[in-house]
């Protein structure tokens, strides 16, 4: 069963959608909050959301990625992954961007732009057919529903989980000619959980003198 993917988000659209965050003020929080005191209604809501945003010139994680760098990494590696991947190079890039995302979320937990990045992260991890990546994809989908349920990304995640979310990863590779272990049986998914499909890894031919 192949996973279902959503629409691609052009890089230009990511830049446009992130414009508010890119120009977030680096003024002290108190000063930024005072700027909203004379506003009402939706204008005040937008102003307050702006105040929770990370400054556009702040960088996160070991690689010091901006929020656009995080999003672009998720977007680009999803394209590189094709239908699915277990490429360690791609996994490394995605994990580095995810580490930067966690740093960003820790420092600015109420930044409204986080929902987009979690959505992009869930998308790319869904294409990485390893158990840790697949479970992280599910975790981010549930986070979108629980914390960002009123956003476009939260509503999209809720819809996809309701339709059925299947995780895919490969079982352990065995020597050619050996008895292949039977796939693990998994129960029907509960709400917020997912079905699991264990795929058969290609066998390998042991080299003379190598350890099992």
Extract the tokens encoding 55: 């400054």
pLDDT of residue 125: 98
Residue 200 has pLDDT above 60, yes or no: yes
The separation between the first and the last C-alpha atoms of the chain, rounded to the nearest angstrom, is 32
Residue 187 has pLDDT above 60, yes or no: no
What pLDDT band is residue 112 in, cutting at 50, 70 and 90?
Answer: very high
Q: How far apart are CA 146 and CA 139, in angstroms?
A: 10
Tens-place pLDDT, residues 126-149: 999 999 999 999 999 999 999 999
DSSP calls for 55-107:
PTT--BTTTTB-HHHHHHHHHHHHHHHTT-B--HHHHHHHHHHHHHHHHHHHH
What pLDDT band is residue 99 in, cutting at 50, 70 and 90?
Answer: very high
Distances (CA, A) of 87 to 8, 65, 74, 176: 21, 22, 15, 22
Query: Which residues 6+ apart lie within 8 Å of 87 measured at CB?
Result: 80, 81
Q: At what angle do helices 131-147 and 152-163 cross, to 10 degrees?
A: 120
Residue 103 has pLDDT above 90, yes or no: yes
Q: How far apart are CA 212 and CA 199, in angstroms?
A: 22
Tens-place pLDDT, residues 29-49: 555 556 666 667 655 555 555
Helix (H) or strand (E) holding 47, with range, is helix 41-51
If you ran DSSP here, which 8-state letter would residue 190 be given?
A: P
Q: Taking every pair of C-alpha atoms in the chain, what is the biggest distance, in angstroms?
A: 77
Q: Which residue's entry shows tokens 């659209």?
A: 13
pLDDT of residue 13: 41
What pLDDT band is residue 197 in, cutting at 50, 70 and 90?
Answer: confident
If you ran DSSP here, which 8-state letter would residue 128 be given?
A: B
Rg of the chain over Cα atoms, rounded to whole angstroms, equals 21
How many residues are present in the chain?
212
Residue 77 has pLDDT above 60, yes or no: yes
Please indicate whether residue 106 or residue 47 has the higher confidence score (pLDDT). 106
Which stretches within 113-211 are classed as H helix? Answer: 114-126, 131-147, 152-163
């Amino acid at each position: 069963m192949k996973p279902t993917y959503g629409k691609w988000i052009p890089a230009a659209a990511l830049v446009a959608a992130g414009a508010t965050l890119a120009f977030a003020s680096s003024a002290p929080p108190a000063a930024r909050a005072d700027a909203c005191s004379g506003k009402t209604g939706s204008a005040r809501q937008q102003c307050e959301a702006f105040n929770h945003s990370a400054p556009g010139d702040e960088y996160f994680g070991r690689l010091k990625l901006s929020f656009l760098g995080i999003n672009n990494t998720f977007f680009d590696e999803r394209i590189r992954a094709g239908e699915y991947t277990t490429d360690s190079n791609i996994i490394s890039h995605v994990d580095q961007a995810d580490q930067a995302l966690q740093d960003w979320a820790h420092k600015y937990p109420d930044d409204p732009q986080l929902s987009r990045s979690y959505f992009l992260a869930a998308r790319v991890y869904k294409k990485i057919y390893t158990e840790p990546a697949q479970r992280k994809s599910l975790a981010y989908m549930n986070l979108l529903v629980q914390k960002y349920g009123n956003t476009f990304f939260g509503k999209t995640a809720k819809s996809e989980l309701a339709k059925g979310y299947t995780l895919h990863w490969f079982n352990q590779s065995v020597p050619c000619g050996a008895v292949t272990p039977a796939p693990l049986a998994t129960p029907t998914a509960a709400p917020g959980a997912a079905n699991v499909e264990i795929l058969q890894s290609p066998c390998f031919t042991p080299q003379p003198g190598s350890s099992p």
